[in-house]
Structure 1
Amino acid sequence: MKRLAGKAALVTGGACGIGRAIVERFAAEGAHVAIADIDTAAASNLEAELGGAAFHVRLDVTRDADWGGAIDELERRHGPLAVLVNNAGINVPGSIADAREEDWRRVHEVNGLGPFLGCQHAVRRMRASGGAIVNVASVRGQRPSSGQVAYCSSKALVLNLTESVALYCGEQNLPIRCNAICPGVVDTPLLRSGFAALGGEDEALLRLSGLQVMNRIGTPEEIAAAAVFLASDEASFVTGAAFNIDGGFRIRDQ
Protein backbone atom coordinates (compact mmCIF):
# COMPACT_ATOMS: atom_id res chain seq x y z
CA MET A 1 0.00 0.00 0.00
CA LYS A 2 1.29 3.46 -0.88
CA ARG A 3 1.94 5.47 2.26
CA LEU A 4 0.78 8.87 0.94
CA ALA A 5 -2.00 7.67 -1.35
CA GLY A 6 -4.29 10.51 -2.42
CA LYS A 7 -2.67 13.18 -0.22
CA ALA A 8 -2.26 16.66 -1.69
CA ALA A 9 1.27 17.81 -0.91
CA LEU A 10 3.32 20.92 -1.59
CA VAL A 11 7.12 20.87 -1.50
CA THR A 12 9.04 24.15 -1.61
CA GLY A 13 12.37 24.19 -3.38
CA GLY A 14 11.09 21.03 -5.01
CA ALA A 15 12.93 21.28 -8.31
CA CYS A 16 16.40 20.12 -7.26
CA GLY A 17 18.50 18.55 -4.53
CA ILE A 18 16.71 17.40 -1.40
CA GLY A 19 13.43 18.94 -2.57
CA ARG A 20 13.52 17.00 -5.82
CA ALA A 21 14.15 13.73 -3.97
CA ILE A 22 11.20 14.44 -1.68
CA VAL A 23 8.93 15.20 -4.64
CA GLU A 24 9.97 11.96 -6.35
CA ARG A 25 9.41 9.84 -3.21
CA PHE A 26 6.08 11.49 -2.45
CA ALA A 27 4.90 10.82 -6.01
CA ALA A 28 6.04 7.19 -5.76
CA GLU A 29 4.08 6.87 -2.52
CA GLY A 30 0.86 8.05 -4.19
CA ALA A 31 0.74 11.73 -3.29
CA HIS A 32 -0.41 14.49 -5.63
CA VAL A 33 2.55 16.86 -5.47
CA ALA A 34 2.96 20.55 -6.21
CA ILE A 35 6.60 21.24 -7.15
CA ALA A 36 6.82 24.73 -5.70
CA ASP A 37 9.94 26.55 -6.79
CA ILE A 38 11.17 29.91 -7.99
CA ASP A 39 13.08 28.05 -10.74
CA THR A 40 10.15 27.32 -13.02
CA ALA A 41 12.27 25.78 -15.78
CA ALA A 42 13.71 23.10 -13.50
CA ALA A 43 10.32 22.51 -11.91
CA SER A 44 8.70 22.14 -15.32
CA ASN A 45 11.31 19.58 -16.36
CA LEU A 46 10.65 17.53 -13.23
CA GLU A 47 6.90 17.71 -13.87
CA ALA A 48 7.47 16.27 -17.34
CA GLU A 49 9.53 13.42 -15.89
CA LEU A 50 6.90 12.50 -13.32
CA GLY A 51 3.89 12.79 -15.58
CA GLY A 52 0.53 13.15 -13.84
CA ALA A 53 1.93 12.59 -10.34
CA ALA A 54 3.15 16.18 -9.97
CA PHE A 55 2.78 19.66 -11.37
CA HIS A 56 4.89 22.77 -10.99
CA VAL A 57 3.88 26.11 -9.55
CA ARG A 58 6.03 29.20 -9.13
CA LEU A 59 6.53 30.13 -5.50
CA ASP A 60 8.74 32.76 -3.94
CA VAL A 61 8.57 31.63 -0.32
CA THR A 62 9.15 35.17 0.95
CA ARG A 63 5.94 36.47 -0.67
CA ASP A 64 2.68 35.89 1.17
CA ALA A 65 0.58 36.24 -1.98
CA ASP A 66 2.60 33.54 -3.74
CA TRP A 67 1.79 31.11 -0.93
CA GLY A 68 -1.94 31.70 -1.26
CA GLY A 69 -1.85 31.24 -5.02
CA ALA A 70 0.24 28.06 -4.91
CA ILE A 71 -1.97 26.35 -2.34
CA ASP A 72 -5.11 27.50 -4.16
CA GLU A 73 -3.85 25.81 -7.33
CA LEU A 74 -3.00 22.59 -5.50
CA GLU A 75 -6.39 22.46 -3.82
CA ARG A 76 -8.19 23.25 -7.08
CA ARG A 77 -6.56 20.23 -8.67
CA HIS A 78 -6.37 17.71 -5.83
CA GLY A 79 -8.39 18.78 -2.81
CA PRO A 80 -7.38 20.04 0.63
CA LEU A 81 -3.71 20.52 1.45
CA ALA A 82 -2.60 17.52 3.49
CA VAL A 83 1.20 17.84 3.56
CA LEU A 84 3.53 20.83 3.43
CA VAL A 85 7.30 20.44 3.22
CA ASN A 86 9.18 23.68 3.87
CA ASN A 87 12.42 22.77 2.13
CA ALA A 88 13.52 25.88 0.21
CA GLY A 89 16.64 27.45 1.65
CA ILE A 90 19.87 29.29 0.91
CA ASN A 91 23.28 29.69 2.50
CA VAL A 92 25.59 32.68 2.24
CA PRO A 93 28.85 32.02 4.10
CA GLY A 94 30.19 34.62 6.51
CA SER A 95 31.33 34.95 10.11
CA ILE A 96 30.21 37.58 12.60
CA ALA A 97 33.29 39.58 11.53
CA ASP A 98 32.58 39.72 7.81
CA ALA A 99 28.92 38.79 7.17
CA ARG A 100 27.04 41.52 5.34
CA GLU A 101 23.74 42.89 6.59
CA GLU A 102 22.07 42.28 3.23
CA ASP A 103 23.17 38.63 3.29
CA TRP A 104 21.85 38.19 6.85
CA ARG A 105 18.50 39.65 5.82
CA ARG A 106 18.22 37.54 2.67
CA VAL A 107 19.12 34.27 4.40
CA HIS A 108 16.57 34.92 7.14
CA GLU A 109 13.92 35.94 4.63
CA VAL A 110 14.22 32.67 2.71
CA ASN A 111 15.09 30.30 5.56
CA GLY A 112 13.02 31.95 8.29
CA LEU A 113 10.20 34.04 6.85
CA GLY A 114 9.54 31.39 4.18
CA PRO A 115 8.79 28.55 6.64
CA PHE A 116 6.84 30.96 8.87
CA LEU A 117 4.54 31.93 6.00
CA GLY A 118 4.26 28.30 4.91
CA CYS A 119 3.32 27.12 8.39
CA GLN A 120 0.82 29.95 8.79
CA HIS A 121 -0.93 29.18 5.51
CA ALA A 122 -0.84 25.42 6.20
CA VAL A 123 -2.39 25.75 9.66
CA ARG A 124 -5.19 27.88 8.23
CA ARG A 125 -5.87 25.40 5.40
CA MET A 126 -5.47 22.22 7.49
CA ARG A 127 -7.53 23.42 10.44
CA ALA A 128 -10.58 21.36 9.51
CA SER A 129 -9.19 18.40 7.57
CA GLY A 130 -5.83 17.96 9.31
CA GLY A 131 -2.38 17.40 7.93
CA ALA A 132 1.36 17.28 8.44
CA ILE A 133 4.01 19.98 8.17
CA VAL A 134 7.65 18.98 7.67
CA ASN A 135 10.27 21.70 8.04
CA VAL A 136 13.74 21.02 6.65
CA ALA A 137 16.15 22.56 9.15
CA SER A 138 19.79 21.49 9.59
CA VAL A 139 22.14 20.09 12.18
CA ARG A 140 23.78 23.51 11.90
CA GLY A 141 20.75 24.80 13.77
CA GLN A 142 21.90 22.66 16.70
CA ARG A 143 25.67 22.74 16.26
CA PRO A 144 26.69 26.03 14.63
CA SER A 145 29.88 26.91 12.82
CA SER A 146 31.67 30.24 13.01
CA GLY A 147 31.72 30.68 9.25
CA GLN A 148 27.96 30.41 8.60
CA VAL A 149 26.50 32.80 11.14
CA ALA A 150 23.37 33.68 9.16
CA TYR A 151 22.62 30.14 8.01
CA CYS A 152 23.07 28.59 11.46
CA SER A 153 20.88 31.24 13.05
CA SER A 154 18.15 30.76 10.46
CA LYS A 155 18.08 27.00 10.93
CA ALA A 156 17.88 27.36 14.72
CA LEU A 157 14.89 29.59 14.02
CA VAL A 158 13.26 26.80 12.01
CA LEU A 159 13.63 24.36 14.91
CA ASN A 160 12.03 26.80 17.36
CA LEU A 161 9.28 27.60 14.85
CA THR A 162 8.55 23.89 14.50
CA GLU A 163 8.04 23.45 18.23
CA SER A 164 5.93 26.59 18.51
CA VAL A 165 3.62 25.46 15.69
CA ALA A 166 3.34 21.96 17.18
CA LEU A 167 2.45 23.45 20.58
CA TYR A 168 -0.17 25.76 19.10
CA CYS A 169 -1.86 22.99 17.14
CA GLY A 170 -1.93 20.76 20.21
CA GLU A 171 -3.30 23.48 22.46
CA GLN A 172 -6.02 24.27 19.92
CA ASN A 173 -6.85 20.57 19.41
CA LEU A 174 -6.09 20.86 15.73
CA PRO A 175 -5.35 17.62 13.82
CA ILE A 176 -2.06 19.02 12.52
CA ARG A 177 1.43 17.70 13.23
CA CYS A 178 4.59 19.76 12.74
CA ASN A 179 8.07 18.23 12.73
CA ALA A 180 11.56 19.04 11.48
CA ILE A 181 14.30 17.16 9.67
CA CYS A 182 17.91 18.10 10.36
CA PRO A 183 20.16 16.92 7.52
CA GLY A 184 23.91 16.72 7.86
CA VAL A 185 26.16 17.13 4.83
CA VAL A 186 24.16 15.94 1.83
CA ASP A 187 25.27 15.43 -1.77
CA THR A 188 23.33 18.09 -3.67
CA PRO A 189 24.11 20.37 -6.64
CA LEU A 190 24.43 23.27 -4.16
CA LEU A 191 27.04 21.39 -2.15
CA ARG A 192 29.02 20.40 -5.23
CA SER A 193 29.02 23.98 -6.48
CA GLY A 194 31.34 24.81 -3.60
CA PHE A 195 33.82 21.98 -4.15
CA ALA A 196 36.33 24.19 -5.96
CA ALA A 197 36.74 26.35 -2.86
CA LEU A 198 37.54 23.22 -0.85
CA GLY A 199 40.36 22.03 -3.09
CA GLY A 200 38.44 20.11 -5.73
CA GLU A 201 36.04 17.16 -5.65
CA ASP A 202 38.33 14.53 -4.13
CA GLU A 203 39.62 16.78 -1.36
CA ALA A 204 36.15 18.18 -0.64
CA LEU A 205 34.53 14.73 -0.37
CA LEU A 206 37.30 13.57 1.96
CA ARG A 207 36.97 16.59 4.24
CA LEU A 208 33.17 16.65 4.27
CA SER A 209 32.85 12.89 4.76
CA GLY A 210 35.01 13.17 7.85
CA LEU A 211 32.45 15.42 9.52
CA GLN A 212 30.10 12.44 9.97
CA VAL A 213 30.57 9.48 12.30
CA MET A 214 29.70 7.28 9.32
CA ASN A 215 32.54 8.84 7.28
CA ARG A 216 30.46 9.65 4.23
CA ILE A 217 28.06 12.34 3.09
CA GLY A 218 24.35 11.66 2.85
CA THR A 219 22.08 11.40 -0.17
CA PRO A 220 18.93 13.39 -0.89
CA GLU A 221 17.03 10.10 -1.00
CA GLU A 222 17.92 9.43 2.64
CA ILE A 223 16.39 12.76 3.65
CA ALA A 224 13.33 12.05 1.50
CA ALA A 225 12.75 8.76 3.33
CA ALA A 226 12.42 10.64 6.61
CA ALA A 227 10.05 13.15 5.00
CA VAL A 228 7.79 10.33 3.82
CA PHE A 229 7.61 8.90 7.33
CA LEU A 230 6.77 12.25 8.94
CA ALA A 231 4.16 13.03 6.28
CA SER A 232 2.49 9.64 6.59
CA ASP A 233 0.05 8.23 9.12
CA GLU A 234 2.89 6.11 10.48
CA ALA A 235 4.01 9.24 12.34
CA SER A 236 0.57 9.88 13.83
CA PHE A 237 2.03 10.23 17.37
CA VAL A 238 4.98 12.44 16.35
CA THR A 239 4.89 16.22 16.62
CA GLY A 240 7.35 18.90 17.66
CA ALA A 241 10.25 16.54 16.95
CA ALA A 242 13.58 17.14 15.20
CA PHE A 243 14.91 14.13 13.28
CA ASN A 244 18.67 14.19 12.74
CA ILE A 245 19.42 12.48 9.44
CA ASP A 246 23.09 13.35 9.61
CA GLY A 247 25.31 10.26 9.75
CA GLY A 248 26.32 11.28 13.27
CA PHE A 249 27.40 14.83 12.35
CA ARG A 250 25.97 16.43 15.49
CA ILE A 251 27.70 14.07 17.92
CA ARG A 252 31.10 14.02 16.24
CA ASP A 253 33.67 15.61 18.52
CA GLN A 254 35.53 17.87 16.12
Structure 2
Amino acid sequence: MVRNDWSWLGAGGRPRAAAWIAVIGLTLCVSPRAVMRAQEKGEAPRAAGAAVPAAQGARGSTAAGGDTHGAASQDGGSHDAGKGEPHDPHDLTHHNASSELAVPRELRFDHLVGSWAVFFLLLVIVGKLGWKPIMSGLQKREEAIAARIEEAERAADAARQRLREYEAKLAVAGDAARAILAQAQKDAEKTTGRMIADAEEAAQRERSRATAEIDAARSAALDDIATRSVDLAVLMANRIVRKNLTAADHKALISETLEQFHSRN
Protein backbone atom coordinates (compact mmCIF):
# COMPACT_ATOMS: atom_id res chain seq x y z
CA MET A 1 0.00 0.00 0.00
CA VAL A 2 1.38 3.42 -0.97
CA ARG A 3 1.66 6.02 1.82
CA ASN A 4 2.48 9.73 1.62
CA ASP A 5 5.93 10.67 2.86
CA TRP A 6 5.33 12.79 5.99
CA SER A 7 8.32 11.37 7.92
CA TRP A 8 10.16 14.72 7.83
CA LEU A 9 7.51 16.12 10.21
CA GLY A 10 8.28 13.50 12.87
CA ALA A 11 5.94 11.00 14.51
CA GLY A 12 2.34 11.59 13.46
CA GLY A 13 3.56 13.80 10.62
CA ARG A 14 0.27 14.22 8.75
CA PRO A 15 -1.88 15.18 11.81
CA ARG A 16 0.86 17.49 13.04
CA ALA A 17 1.06 19.26 9.66
CA ALA A 18 -2.72 19.65 9.54
CA ALA A 19 -2.72 21.08 13.08
CA TRP A 20 0.01 23.58 12.25
CA ILE A 21 -1.82 24.70 9.11
CA ALA A 22 -5.07 25.12 11.07
CA VAL A 23 -3.35 27.11 13.87
CA ILE A 24 -1.55 29.39 11.41
CA GLY A 25 -4.72 29.98 9.39
CA LEU A 26 -6.78 30.68 12.51
CA THR A 27 -4.13 33.09 13.80
CA LEU A 28 -3.98 34.94 10.51
CA CYS A 29 -7.76 35.17 10.35
CA VAL A 30 -8.20 36.36 13.95
CA SER A 31 -5.30 38.85 14.07
CA PRO A 32 -6.82 41.49 11.70
CA ARG A 33 -10.14 41.28 13.57
CA ALA A 34 -8.42 41.81 16.92
CA VAL A 35 -6.47 44.82 15.64
CA MET A 36 -9.61 46.43 14.19
CA ARG A 37 -11.58 45.85 17.41
CA ALA A 38 -8.75 47.39 19.44
CA GLN A 39 -8.76 50.42 17.17
CA GLU A 40 -12.52 50.77 17.44
CA LYS A 41 -12.40 50.51 21.25
CA GLY A 42 -9.66 53.19 21.34
CA GLU A 43 -11.73 55.54 19.19
CA ALA A 44 -14.93 55.07 21.21
CA PRO A 45 -13.85 57.01 24.39
CA ARG A 46 -12.68 59.94 22.27
CA ALA A 47 -16.02 60.05 20.46
CA ALA A 48 -17.87 59.95 23.79
CA GLY A 49 -15.75 62.82 25.22
CA ALA A 50 -16.47 64.97 22.19
CA ALA A 51 -20.17 64.18 22.39
CA VAL A 52 -20.60 65.54 26.00
CA PRO A 53 -19.91 69.27 25.21
CA ALA A 54 -22.03 69.00 22.09
CA ALA A 55 -24.89 67.66 24.17
CA GLN A 56 -24.54 70.47 26.72
CA GLY A 57 -24.58 73.13 23.96
CA ALA A 58 -27.60 71.49 22.42
CA ARG A 59 -29.48 71.63 25.75
CA GLY A 60 -28.67 75.37 26.13
CA SER A 61 -29.91 76.25 22.68
CA THR A 62 -32.99 74.17 23.14
CA ALA A 63 -33.86 75.99 26.41
CA ALA A 64 -33.66 79.40 24.67
CA GLY A 65 -35.77 78.23 21.74
CA GLY A 66 -38.84 76.76 23.52
CA ASP A 67 -40.17 74.76 26.45
CA THR A 68 -41.24 71.65 24.59
CA HIS A 69 -37.96 71.16 22.72
CA GLY A 70 -36.00 72.12 25.82
CA ALA A 71 -37.82 69.50 27.83
CA ALA A 72 -37.01 66.89 25.21
CA SER A 73 -33.37 67.98 25.21
CA GLN A 74 -33.24 67.86 28.98
CA ASP A 75 -34.76 64.38 28.93
CA GLY A 76 -32.17 63.26 26.35
CA GLY A 77 -29.33 64.92 28.28
CA SER A 78 -30.45 63.39 31.53
CA HIS A 79 -30.76 60.02 29.75
CA ASP A 80 -27.17 60.29 28.42
CA ALA A 81 -25.85 61.64 31.69
CA GLY A 82 -27.63 58.94 33.68
CA LYS A 83 -26.09 56.11 31.67
CA GLY A 84 -22.65 57.61 31.17
CA GLU A 85 -21.80 54.90 28.59
CA PRO A 86 -19.26 55.49 25.77
CA HIS A 87 -20.41 55.82 22.19
CA ASP A 88 -20.31 52.56 20.13
CA PRO A 89 -20.21 53.23 16.37
CA HIS A 90 -21.59 49.74 15.66
CA ASP A 91 -24.61 50.11 17.98
CA LEU A 92 -27.76 50.57 15.88
CA THR A 93 -30.00 52.00 18.67
CA HIS A 94 -31.41 55.50 18.23
CA HIS A 95 -29.67 57.18 21.15
CA ASN A 96 -26.26 55.86 20.01
CA ALA A 97 -26.49 56.75 16.28
CA SER A 98 -23.72 58.90 14.82
CA SER A 99 -22.12 59.75 11.49
CA GLU A 100 -19.41 57.13 12.13
CA LEU A 101 -21.88 54.21 12.14
CA ALA A 102 -20.69 51.45 9.75
CA VAL A 103 -23.02 50.50 6.94
CA PRO A 104 -23.30 46.69 6.45
CA ARG A 105 -23.36 47.04 2.68
CA GLU A 106 -20.20 49.15 2.66
CA LEU A 107 -17.09 47.37 1.33
CA ARG A 108 -14.18 47.58 3.76
CA PHE A 109 -10.91 47.70 1.83
CA ASP A 110 -8.78 46.69 4.80
CA HIS A 111 -10.93 43.59 5.40
CA LEU A 112 -10.72 42.66 1.74
CA VAL A 113 -6.95 43.03 1.68
CA GLY A 114 -6.57 41.04 4.90
CA SER A 115 -8.81 38.24 3.65
CA TRP A 116 -6.95 37.96 0.36
CA ALA A 117 -3.61 38.05 2.17
CA VAL A 118 -4.71 35.25 4.52
CA PHE A 119 -6.06 33.23 1.58
CA PHE A 120 -2.85 33.49 -0.44
CA LEU A 121 -0.73 32.80 2.64
CA LEU A 122 -2.74 29.69 3.43
CA LEU A 123 -2.48 28.67 -0.22
CA VAL A 124 1.31 29.06 -0.12
CA ILE A 125 1.60 27.15 3.16
CA VAL A 126 -0.62 24.33 2.00
CA GLY A 127 1.22 24.16 -1.32
CA LYS A 128 4.57 24.16 0.47
CA LEU A 129 3.69 21.61 3.14
CA GLY A 130 1.04 19.47 1.50
CA TRP A 131 1.19 19.75 -2.28
CA LYS A 132 4.49 17.97 -2.84
CA PRO A 133 3.71 15.09 -0.43
CA ILE A 134 0.24 14.73 -1.94
CA MET A 135 1.59 14.68 -5.49
CA SER A 136 4.38 12.33 -4.43
CA GLY A 137 1.84 10.03 -2.79
CA LEU A 138 -0.39 10.10 -5.85
CA GLN A 139 2.61 9.39 -8.09
CA LYS A 140 3.69 6.49 -5.88
CA ARG A 141 0.15 5.17 -5.80
CA GLU A 142 -0.10 5.42 -9.59
CA GLU A 143 3.22 3.62 -9.96
CA ALA A 144 2.11 0.93 -7.49
CA ILE A 145 -1.18 0.45 -9.37
CA ALA A 146 0.69 0.27 -12.68
CA ALA A 147 3.11 -2.25 -11.16
CA ARG A 148 0.22 -4.36 -9.87
CA ILE A 149 -1.48 -4.20 -13.28
CA GLU A 150 1.76 -5.22 -14.99
CA GLU A 151 2.25 -8.04 -12.48
CA ALA A 152 -1.33 -9.20 -13.05
CA GLU A 153 -0.75 -9.14 -16.82
CA ARG A 154 2.44 -11.18 -16.39
CA ALA A 155 0.58 -13.65 -14.18
CA ALA A 156 -2.20 -13.87 -16.79
CA ASP A 157 0.36 -14.47 -19.56
CA ALA A 158 2.05 -17.17 -17.46
CA ALA A 159 -1.33 -18.78 -16.76
CA ARG A 160 -2.20 -18.75 -20.46
CA GLN A 161 1.21 -20.26 -21.27
CA ARG A 162 0.68 -23.02 -18.68
CA LEU A 163 -2.80 -23.61 -20.08
CA ARG A 164 -1.37 -24.04 -23.58
CA GLU A 165 1.26 -26.44 -22.22
CA TYR A 166 -1.40 -28.45 -20.40
CA GLU A 167 -3.55 -28.56 -23.53
CA ALA A 168 -0.54 -29.76 -25.58
CA LYS A 169 0.21 -32.42 -22.96
CA LEU A 170 -3.42 -33.51 -22.98
CA ALA A 171 -3.34 -33.74 -26.78
CA VAL A 172 -0.16 -35.85 -26.64
CA ALA A 173 -1.68 -38.03 -23.92
CA GLY A 174 -4.82 -38.46 -26.03
CA ASP A 175 -2.76 -39.49 -29.05
CA ALA A 176 -0.77 -41.92 -26.90
CA ALA A 177 -3.97 -43.37 -25.43
CA ARG A 178 -5.46 -43.83 -28.90
CA ALA A 179 -2.23 -45.48 -30.09
CA ILE A 180 -2.27 -47.81 -27.07
CA LEU A 181 -5.89 -48.73 -27.75
CA ALA A 182 -5.15 -49.39 -31.42
CA GLN A 183 -2.14 -51.55 -30.52
CA ALA A 184 -4.19 -53.43 -27.93
CA GLN A 185 -6.89 -54.03 -30.53
CA LYS A 186 -4.29 -55.31 -32.97
CA ASP A 187 -2.75 -57.55 -30.31
CA ALA A 188 -6.19 -58.88 -29.41
CA GLU A 189 -6.92 -59.59 -33.05
CA LYS A 190 -3.57 -61.34 -33.43
CA THR A 191 -4.13 -63.34 -30.27
CA THR A 192 -7.60 -64.29 -31.40
CA GLY A 193 -6.32 -65.34 -34.82
CA ARG A 194 -3.49 -67.33 -33.24
CA MET A 195 -5.87 -69.04 -30.84
CA ILE A 196 -8.23 -69.88 -33.72
CA ALA A 197 -5.33 -71.20 -35.79
CA ASP A 198 -4.06 -73.26 -32.86
CA ALA A 199 -7.52 -74.67 -32.29
CA GLU A 200 -7.94 -75.51 -35.95
CA GLU A 201 -4.49 -77.09 -36.00
CA ALA A 202 -5.26 -79.11 -32.88
CA ALA A 203 -8.55 -80.20 -34.39
CA GLN A 204 -6.79 -81.14 -37.58
CA ARG A 205 -4.24 -83.16 -35.64
CA GLU A 206 -7.02 -84.88 -33.74
CA ARG A 207 -8.79 -85.65 -36.98
CA SER A 208 -5.58 -86.99 -38.50
CA ARG A 209 -4.82 -89.06 -35.42
CA ALA A 210 -8.36 -90.39 -35.29
CA THR A 211 -8.23 -91.19 -38.99
CA ALA A 212 -4.90 -92.93 -38.57
CA GLU A 213 -6.18 -94.89 -35.62
CA ILE A 214 -9.29 -95.80 -37.54
CA ASP A 215 -7.22 -96.87 -40.53
CA ALA A 216 -4.88 -98.87 -38.32
CA ALA A 217 -7.78 -100.53 -36.54
CA ARG A 218 -9.43 -101.32 -39.84
CA SER A 219 -6.21 -102.72 -41.25
CA ALA A 220 -5.70 -104.80 -38.13
CA ALA A 221 -9.26 -106.03 -38.29
CA LEU A 222 -8.91 -106.87 -41.96
CA ASP A 223 -5.64 -108.65 -41.31
CA ASP A 224 -7.24 -110.58 -38.50
CA ILE A 225 -10.20 -111.42 -40.68
CA ALA A 226 -7.94 -112.50 -43.52
CA THR A 227 -5.81 -114.58 -41.19
CA ARG A 228 -8.83 -116.22 -39.69
CA SER A 229 -10.27 -116.77 -43.14
CA VAL A 230 -7.05 -118.32 -44.39
CA ASP A 231 -6.79 -120.46 -41.29
CA LEU A 232 -10.35 -121.53 -41.77
CA ALA A 233 -9.77 -122.22 -45.46
CA VAL A 234 -6.55 -124.09 -44.73
CA LEU A 235 -8.28 -126.06 -42.06
CA MET A 236 -11.04 -126.94 -44.44
CA ALA A 237 -8.59 -127.73 -47.24
CA ASN A 238 -6.47 -129.70 -44.84
CA ARG A 239 -9.40 -131.76 -43.94
CA ILE A 240 -10.02 -132.28 -47.57
CA VAL A 241 -6.50 -133.06 -48.60
CA ARG A 242 -4.97 -133.77 -45.22
CA LYS A 243 -2.31 -135.98 -46.50
CA ASN A 244 -1.17 -133.90 -49.54
CA LEU A 245 -0.30 -130.38 -47.90
CA THR A 246 2.81 -129.65 -45.84
CA ALA A 247 3.58 -126.79 -43.41
CA ALA A 248 5.43 -124.81 -46.06
CA ASP A 249 2.50 -125.20 -48.35
CA HIS A 250 0.29 -123.82 -45.60
CA LYS A 251 2.45 -120.65 -45.19
CA ALA A 252 2.63 -120.03 -48.91
CA LEU A 253 -1.06 -120.42 -49.22
CA ILE A 254 -1.68 -117.97 -46.35
CA SER A 255 0.64 -115.34 -47.82
CA GLU A 256 -0.89 -115.58 -51.23
CA THR A 257 -4.34 -115.28 -49.79
CA LEU A 258 -3.40 -112.16 -47.78
CA GLU A 259 -1.88 -110.48 -50.81
CA GLN A 260 -4.94 -111.16 -52.84
CA PHE A 261 -7.09 -109.79 -50.02
CA HIS A 262 -5.10 -106.55 -49.76
CA SER A 263 -5.11 -106.06 -53.48
CA ARG A 264 -8.85 -106.32 -53.53
CA ASN A 265 -9.27 -103.74 -50.75
With the length of structure 1 as denominator, give the TM-score of the two structures.
Answer: 0.18
Max Rg structure: 2
Point out the structure with the larger strand share.
Answer: 1
Point out the structure with the larger helix share.
Answer: 2
